[in-house]
A and B are shown apart, each in its own frame.
Chain A
Amino acid sequence: MGTDQEKARTVIGDFLQRIDKGADGWTDETELWGEGIGLDSLEAAELSAMLEDEFGSDPFSAGADLPEKVGDVLAFYSPVST
């Protein structure tokens, strides 16, 4: 059983494959927008829906600021310290 971050990484990989932007070649530092992956609003909404389906919540819908990098998405699913 993987951690939520590992699952989120798999979801991102599946998503990039579905939108034909390659499942490989990205790291935690890859930008989601512009020169990075270059997501547009519809693609970001698709990723948001996929993450919500997997986890019940997602970083695109949860807060005021949108994630900027892949790592920001993964961080949303980091274990909570108690």
Chain B
Amino acid sequence: MILLLEAAASSSPDREAVVTSEGTSTYGELLEDARRVATALRRQGITRFAVVERDAGWVLRLLAGAALSGAEPCQYQPDTDATEFADHASMLDHKFVVSRREDLTGAFEVIRPETLVTVDADSTLRSDEDAEQPLMIRTTGTTGLPKAARHDWRILGKTVAGVRPMPEQRWLLAYGPQQFAGVQVLLHVAASQATLVAPFPRQPRDGLDALLTKGVTCVSATPTFWRFLLAEARSRRVTLPPLEQITLGGEASPGDLLEEIQTTFPGAKVSQVYASTEFGSITSVRDGKPGLAVDSLWSEDHPTSNVRVSDGELWVRAGAGMLGYAEESSTAAGESADAHGTGDVEGEWRRTGDLVEIVDDRVMFRGRKSEVINVGGVKVHPLPVEDRITGLGTVALARVFGRPSKLTGAIVAAEIVPVDGVERADVEAIRAQIKEAVADLPRAWQPRSVTFVDAIETKGGKTIRGMEH
């Protein structure tokens, strides 16, 4: 991160690096402040710290400063509950917390970020490509408690080694910068010496505002984020500006959503990225179709591929993956995938927990292993059911999940956001459409509980499926 920032600041110090709700910073300003942060961290003897900060400008200063000083930052969701934060900070032994929040108390010292940029930068501090540049990234915790993965900027930086400067690009930060995908966006923007547009909050409606008013040209977001953003745009009856690049990740991209994105933004290049906090960025698809191409899988004829399918599950070998989970040595990284339930390890290959099915020439995602709903002994994958429902013209958004039932263990349940809103929608007509849309699925797969809601809850920009408790 610091090396990319130095390159961008050297090339164009006055170029806008980041635009947030709090203001705009140039690459020169970011680098200068990063050097001050590094100096302050060194002087205070801080080698690892937590970050609870909502403004992406501050986040960039802190991450780059930490990389220069060799300290390990670990971001938390900026609006995380104070009690929950204290517990997690204790578990990860964070003695220092950089934050502007006033309500964080616990067995740690809170340092305001402004105080880290008041010192004069130590002119002897130099970035060193060979020195460790640690970074801890916590998982979203969509399917359980968040885990903390140890990374190194030098390894993560390899994924953007081939990125050329594209200073005219303006990337929307739709992910939290504390998420792995958010870190990827920060890296990509710095490597391309482009501008990061980072509103806060980062809800789809805020993203839509940024598209309409901040000259955004590129967006990286989850399919769920896109569904919400497009629904919001339809509701407001606004004309969306053209985009140059759209990147989808974090979840499987349904075919109907890909079609809608391509129709709405006909000039945009659309990429789907397969990545995770643990495995790093593994592969990407640019053909506009859902799933992966079968011929992109590992085989004797394609030995360089990092992806293969075994027993209906996707296996990968890490490209720019983590060094290990918190408290583990780097050499234990291989075993850690097993120890933390992500699955078995076979040599350099690891289970991902993503269930897939080969349909003709595509590898189609069927959902996470942890999302499978057991309906009277029948295993139901929520994603294909959800795809049927979201394909209906009257449905803006849908979430399919498992609802406990004493009679069958679970039933398939669906929450529906109608295009016309709950008040105006003909919900009985939509119920009938849903029934017809899933009629050819096995009976256990058909939703037995359909409720109509104004909004669907997400976590880290992803739809929460699996069993409700």
Contact = CB atoms under 8 A, between A and B. Distances in A.
B407 A41 contact: yes
Residue of B375, B407, B451 with most partner-chain A CB within 10 A: B407
B448 A45 contact: yes
Given A53-B449, A53-B451, A45 B405 contact: yes
A77 interface: no
A49 B448 contact: yes
A80 B405 CA distance: 26
30 contacts: A18-B431, A18-B435, A41-B376, A41-B408, A42-B375, A42-B408, A42-B411, A42-B443, A42-B448, A45-B407, A45-B408, A45-B411, A45-B448, A46-B411, A46-B448, A46-B449, A48-B405, A48-B406, A48-B407, A49-B403, A49-B405, A49-B411, A49-B448, A49-B449, A50-B449, A53-B449, A60-B407, A61-B405, A61-B406, A61-B407
Contacts of A42: 375-376, 408, 411, 443-444, 448
Nearest to B413: A49
Contacts of B431: 18
Contacts of B403: 49
B449 to A, nearest CB: 4
Given A42-B411, A45-B411, A50-B449, 15 more contacts: A18-B431, A41-B376, A41-B407, A41-B408, A42-B375, A42-B448, A45-B405, A45-B448, A46-B448, A48-B405, A48-B407, A49-B403, A49-B413, A49-B448, A53-B451
A24 to B, nearest CB: 17
Contacts of A16: none
A25 B448 CA distance: 23
Q: Does more than half of chain B's interface fall in helix, strand or loop, or is it mixed?
A: mixed
A44 interface: yes
Contacts of B448: 42, 45-46, 49
B449 A44 contact: no
Contacts of A18: 431, 435
Interface of A: 18, 41-42, 44-46, 48-50, 53, 60-61
Given A18-B431, A49-B413, A44 B451 contact: no
Interface residues of B, number: 16
Interface in B347-387: 375-376
A41 B378 CA distance: 13
A35 B405 CA distance: 24
Contacts of B406: 48, 60-61
Q: 6 tightest CB-CB pairs across the interface, nearest first?
A: A46-B448, A49-B449, A45-B405, A61-B406, A45-B407, A45-B408
Nearest to A49: B449
Interface in B139-168: none
A41 B443 CA distance: 11
Nearest to B410: A45
A53 B406 CA distance: 15
Contacts of A41: 376, 407-408
A62 to B, nearest CB: 9
A60 B413 CA distance: 17
A44 B451 CA distance: 18
A64 B58 CA distance: 58
Nearest to B448: A46
Contacts of A49: 403, 405, 411, 413, 448-449
B28 to A, nearest CB: 58
Nearest to A17: B428
Contacts of A60: 406-407
A49 B451 CA distance: 11
Interface in B426-443: 431, 435, 443
B453 to A, nearest CB: 12
Contacts of B405: 45, 48-49, 61
A64 to B, nearest CB: 10
A45 B406 CA distance: 8
Contacts of B411: 42, 45-46, 49
B225 to A, nearest CB: 29
A49 B405 CA distance: 8
A44 B376 CA distance: 12
Contacts of B443: 42
Contacts of B435: 18
A75 to B, nearest CB: 18
Nearest to B408: A45
Nearest to A58: B406
Contacts of A50: 449
Contacts of B375: 42
Nearest to B376: A41
A45 B449 CA distance: 9
A33 to B, nearest CB: 12
Of A18, A42, A53, the most chain B CB neighbours within 10 A belong to A42
Contacts of B451: 53
Contacts of A44: 407
A60 B449 CA distance: 15
Contacts of A61: 405-407
Interface string B390-414: 0000000000000101111001010
